[in-house]
């Protein structure tokens, strides 16, 4: 891959944001804006991610700027941490490359009534039981199998479908982004192959960077907001990271095939085939959006069913029903998605197609999309870090609406490639190193732990510091990992 020359063209806007000027390339329609401090920009070096920010700036109908969050790194199509809003009324496009293969990959946070001392002598058993009970890793299917008719209903209705089956409660629905169901999903447009790939994977974690983690709140940064989210110092929580599994991957793949030749038909010249796209209002664009929403609803259900299995494990280990352990959903949020949302652009309200690829919605207090329980404080945002250091809970902030279409970061962002991480792990025992730091890590493969070792990621505290200072979202609580299961 060609390394980016664009780092030389970066212009500082302020302490936490940088501009790639539109003039840097002939084909950019808008500027690129990267949220990062000096250290994160320096760490980015000549990573091709900046080229990807510029590539996205060429998309028809793009509004404002092509954005990147501080966890930016090289992806395919969009960079990871990429955000772009297009206006359908101005020929704006939707691109599967702005969502990625893992449609509605996201995170959910469960709280508990337990504190760290309640885990004394039981943590290892809890983590081992999670590994045994919750399917993780390559090729694992889950205990839930849905017939075709059921799968179609699940993709149309999302988490409310599971509520009808007794697999979710009212709070599980209310505390999901979009109530666990993105409207106008069209499961009938999801291919037979995608249905086959998804039939027995709903309720499975998968591998790569997906996980189930047990954590403790080790610092409360905003007591009032933390209290509104039901979080307090010393409290045990569970963080779940997964997406739409094989079903979503296939929906994206089908879309990319269907879009072969389509950009040229609409006179769209693309710098990267992975940015294949169609006007939002075209038949091809609507087809993708309908199938993508169906896959997104599948992903909400996947995380709900993982949460149900986590609840079953806690019930067994603590010999109490999960309701008496307070194992309630704080929030579930997507970080790979495209959604139609109203936003102000130069003082005019427009209905935009907002792509978030490795970026999280972060709506402020008072926004109608924030669940009633949190509307006075703002939408919860979960930012997983790495399994050795920390993760964060943030809250959406007003400036995000003007600066980033209501968006913030989604994680720490990788610092090392998987290959470099494996090399760095040679001769070491990552599992023992984590144990020495007080983290019990279990994975279905040793390689999984080596590739995902803490050093493979940027320091999440630094990433969160940028979004806090930029006003995209503000700190609520820092969570320290106690144990994790991975693929």
d(CA 170, CA 25): 50
3-class DSSP state of 439: coil
CB of 417 to another protein, least distance (A): 4
> 226: Cβ–Cβ under 8 A, 6 or more apart, which residues?
217, 220, 232, 393, 476, 477
E strand or H helix at 216, and its extent?
strand 211-220
Q: Is residue 418 near another protein by the rule CB under 8 A?
A: yes
Note the residue count of the chain: 487
Instruction: Please name the residue ranges forming H helices in 119-169.
Output: 123-133, 148-157, 159-164
Q: Is residue 123 near another protein by the rule CB under 8 A?
A: no
Selected binder of another protein within 41, 43, 167, 193 (CB under 8 A): 193
Q: Of 3-11, 67-75, 182-190, 465-473, which part binds another protein (CB under 8 A)?
A: 67-75
- By C-beta, is 100 or 158 nearer to another protein? 100
Selected binder of another protein within 42, 89, 132, 138 (CB under 8 A): 138
CB of 81 to another protein, least distance (A): 11
E strand or H helix at 404, and its extent?
helix 399-404
Q: Is residue 420 near another protein by the rule CB under 8 A?
A: yes
CB of 321 to another protein, least distance (A): 34
CB of 138 to another protein, least distance (A): 4
Q: Is residue 75 near another protein by the rule CB under 8 A?
A: yes
Distance of CA 93 to the CA centre of its chain: 22
Selected binder of another protein within 261, 267, 347, 427 (CB under 8 A): 261
CB of 139 to another protein, least distance (A): 6
Which of these is catalytic: 175, 210, 410, 468? 410
Q: Is residue 417 near another protein by the rule CB under 8 A?
A: yes
Pairing verdict, β 65-76 and 31-35: parallel
Q: Is residue 473 near another protein by the rule CB under 8 A?
A: no
Selected binder of another protein within 8, 149, 419, 426 (CB under 8 A): 419
Q: Tell me if residue 468 is catalytic.
A: no
Residues 207-236 that bind another protein (CB under 8 A): 207-208
Selected binder of another protein within 37, 87, 102, 222 (CB under 8 A): 102
Give all strands (DSSP E) within 328-367, no chain letters: 329-334, 336-345, 348-357, 360-361
- By C-beta, is 272 or 315 nearer to another protein? 272
Q: Is residue 324 near another protein by the rule CB under 8 A?
A: no
Q: How far is CA 300 from CA 244, 332, 393, 448, 485, in A?
A: 8, 8, 19, 24, 20
Bridge partners of 288, per DSSP, are: none
Residue 327 · residue 308 · CB < 8 Å: no
> 399: Cβ–Cβ under 8 A, 6 or more apart, which residues?
470, 471, 472
d(CA 454, CA 434): 9
List the catalytic residues.
410
Give me the residues that bind another protein (CB under 8 A), please.
1, 47, 49, 73-77, 80, 100-102, 137-139, 193, 196-197, 206-208, 246, 249-250, 252-253, 256-257, 260-261, 272-274, 276, 414, 416-420, 445, 447, 487
């Amino acid at each position: 891959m060609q390394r980016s020359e664009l780092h030389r063209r970066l212009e500082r806007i302020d302490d936490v944001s940088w501009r790639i000027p539109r003039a840097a390339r002939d084909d950019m329609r808008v500027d690129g804006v990267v949220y990062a401090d000096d250290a994160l920009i320096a760490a980015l070096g000549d990573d091709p991610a900046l080229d990807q920010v510029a590539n996205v700036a060429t998309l028809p109908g793009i509004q404002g700027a092509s954005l990147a969050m501080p966890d930016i790194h090289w992806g395919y199509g969009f960079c990871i941490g990429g955000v772009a809003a297009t206006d359908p009324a101005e020929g704006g496009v939707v691109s599967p490359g702005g969502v990625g293969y893992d449609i509605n990959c996201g995170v959910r946070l469960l709280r508990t009534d337990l504190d760290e001392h309640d885990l004394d002598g039981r943590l290892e058993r809890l983590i081992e039981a999670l590994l045994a009970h919750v399917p993780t890793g390559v090729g694992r299917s889950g205990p839930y199998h849905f017939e075709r008719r059921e799968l179609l209903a699940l993709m149309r209705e999302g988490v409310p479908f599971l509520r009808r089956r007794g697999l979710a409660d009212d709070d599980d629905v209310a505390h999901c982004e979009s109530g666990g169901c993105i409207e106008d999903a069209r499961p009938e447009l999801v291919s037979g192959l995608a249905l086959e790939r998804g039939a027995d994977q709903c309720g499975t974690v998968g591998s790569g960077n997906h996980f189930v983690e047990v954590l403790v709140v080790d610092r409360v940064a905003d007591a009032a907001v933390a209290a509104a989210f039901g979080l307090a110092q010393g409290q045990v929580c569970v963080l779940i990271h997964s997406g739409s599994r094989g079903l979503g991957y296939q929906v994206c793949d089908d879309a990319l095939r269907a879009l072969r030749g389509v950009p040229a038909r609409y006179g769209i010249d693309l710098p990267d085939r992975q940015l294949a796209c169609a006007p939002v209002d075209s038949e091809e664009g609507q087809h993708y959006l309908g199938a993508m929403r169906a896959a997104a609803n599948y992903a909400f259900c996947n995380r709900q069913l993982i949460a149900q299995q986590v609840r079953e494990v806690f019930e067994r280990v603590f010999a109490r029903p999960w309701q008496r352990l307070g194992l309630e959903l704080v929030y579930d949020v997507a970080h790979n998605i495209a959604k139609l949302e109203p936003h102000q652009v130069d003082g005019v309200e427009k209905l935009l197609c907002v792509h978030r690829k490795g970026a999280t919605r972060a709506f402020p207090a008072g926004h109608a999309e924030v669940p009633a329980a949190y509307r006075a404080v703002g939408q919860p945002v979960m930012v997983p870090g790495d399994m050795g250091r920390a993760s964060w809970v943030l809250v959406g902030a007003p400036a995000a609406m003007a600066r980033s279409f209501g968006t913030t970061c989604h994680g720490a962002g990788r610092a090392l490639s998987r290959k470099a991480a494996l090399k760095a792990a040679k001769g070491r025992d990552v599992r023992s190193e984590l144990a020495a730091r007080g983290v019990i890590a279990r994975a279905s493969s040793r390689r999984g732990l080596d590739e995902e070792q803490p050093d493979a990621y940027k320091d999440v505290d630094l990433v969160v510091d940028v979004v806090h200072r930029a006003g995209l979202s503000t700190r609520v609580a820092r969570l320290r990992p106690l144990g994790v299961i991975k693929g």
